[in-house]
Structure 1
Amino acid sequence: MVERKYEFTGETIEHSGTVTLHRIRAVRDFDDVKVGDVGGWIESEHNLSHNGDCWLYGNSKVFECGQVGGNAKIKHSNVFNNAQILGNITVCSSNVYDSAVVIGRAQIEQSQLGQHARISGGSQICKSRIGNYARIEGSVVKGADIGVPCHIRHGHIESSRDLLTIGPIGSEDGTLTAYRGKSGILVTRGCFTGTLGEFTIAVENRHGDNLHGRLYQSTIEFIELYFSEDRS
């Protein structure tokens, strides 16, 4: 049986006039939380796991089927509308909502995550807005608005212009994502992630000079131009 780590204080507030939130208080020591420490607000115990060291700091709120688990630290943030934060994650001054998922390891600061976005792999997200089924793995994203379906692995995004999506393309009518990494341009397409040069070789090996190969070659040339020009 799981040992409880918090209780309700009896203090409640109404959120948006439709949801009653209850303040929590620690009933045992764990991580940096001590017995008697007052935490944030939840709609029900479904919102915050008694397992792990997860906790809501300050006036953080979790409601509308939002879930926080693992060792997640939620600071001055809101998690709601089926969003999930599960793992060794720190969320500061942010909103996570609309079925967004943050899993594994990640740091989220001053950002908005929604619309089924998925963040994982030690990603660091700062002052950004991410949604529309975007998948971010092991990447740094700062000051960007990513509102298109895309898949970024090991990227280093410092503005919305550091990202390009093209689709449908290829024999599977998929989406190609090109973006800046620490040492150059990376491409993700299906199961492939690598440099633009590696992608060029993969296309030649698979498609040769057929229609898909020619379309990919034109796309590669466009990507090279897109990221070589100073469009500021």
Structure 2
Amino acid sequence: MNRKYRLLPSDSIIVGSRTLYRVQALRDVSEGVVHGTLGGYIECEANLSHAGRAWVADSATIYQNAVVSGNALVQGHAVVRGSSSVADDARVYGYAQVATNARISERAAVFDNAIVSGKACIAGDAIVYGRSSVHDGHVFGRAHVRGNAVVLGSARIKDFNDISTFDGIGPRASVVTAYRTGDGSVEVVCTGFRGSLAQFRLRVQADHGARRKDKAGWALLGLANLIEFQFSG
């Protein structure tokens, strides 16, 4: 095996109970990573493949059973941990986190403060950013998950039109996320609620009743109508 990097025992950090070591390139890896370039931190060589152009840069960390391979790049202050993987030409950067069994592949990108976890799969040209989170869902194609969106396991988002996020809704200024699921239906997620659009309407009616002066209730029912319209195409 033509080793791509070495671990530097003299340059390490402690994450929880684990010791991570900075990597240093032993050969030219890519245009920006040449022999002698210092990278980010990994726990062991199983975390970063010696094949391809895969690299960890800056203060980014890869540990536990996580694997970065192919031509993938993890940089900034990003964290890849658990049994997750970042492969192909995928990128994870900023303060993003990829955890548990999540898979980031093809040309997908996860950045800013986004969190991808569970058995989530992010692929194609999809991007996940802002303060959004994807747990178990599938995001692929040209999809964008952004802002404060919350995407859960039944999601199957392949395009811009498969997800909508609404901020500052109701008296609690809740974030409401609506997205397409694997069976083609629409699921709605907000504080204390996850269910179908019909269930969302029933929940609003139960919480706010039919009081004509309840502006929050009318606003939420109006939002339900907007979601239905947006996903009707």
Q: TM-score range by the shorter chain?
A: 0.7 to 0.9
- Alpha-carbon distance between aligned partners in 1 of 2:27 and 2:66, rounded to the nearest angstrom: 23
Q: Is the 8 A contact 2:27 2:35 kept in 1?
A: no
The alpha-carbon distance between structure 1 residues 214 and 57, as it changes in their structure 2 partners (threshold 3 A), is: farther
How many corresponding residue pairs? 206
- Alpha-carbon distance between aligned partners in 1 of 2:33 and 2:85, rounded to the nearest angstrom: 28
1:1-232 equivalent positions in 2, closer than 5 A? 10-11=26-27, 16=32, 21=37, 43=39, 47-50=41-44, 53-58=46-51, 59-75=53-69, 76-92=71-87, 93-109=89-105, 110-127=107-124, 128-143=126-141, 144-154=143-153, 155-183=155-183, 184-209=185-210, 210-229=214-233
TM-superposition CA deviations, 1:89-147 (whole Å, max 9, x none): 12112110000101111111121111111101100111211111111111000111233
CA offset at residue 215 of structure 1? Answer: 0.7
Aligned residue for 1:30?
A: none
Gaps of 5+ in 2: 1-16
The alpha-carbon distance between structure 1 residues 168 and 159, as it changes in their structure 2 partners (threshold 3 A), is: same
Aligned residue for 2:9?
A: none
CA offset at residue 54 of structure 1? Answer: 2.6
CA offset at residue 149 of structure 1? Answer: 2.2
Counting aligned pairs with the same residue, the percent is 20
Q: Is the 8 A contact 1:21 1:63 kept in 2?
A: no
Aligned residue for 2:3?
A: none
Gaps of 5+ in 1: 23-42
Residues 137-146 or 203-212, more deviating:
203-212
RMSD (Å) for aligned C-alpha atoms: 2.9
Q: What is the TM-score when the length of structure 2 is the normalising length? A: 0.78
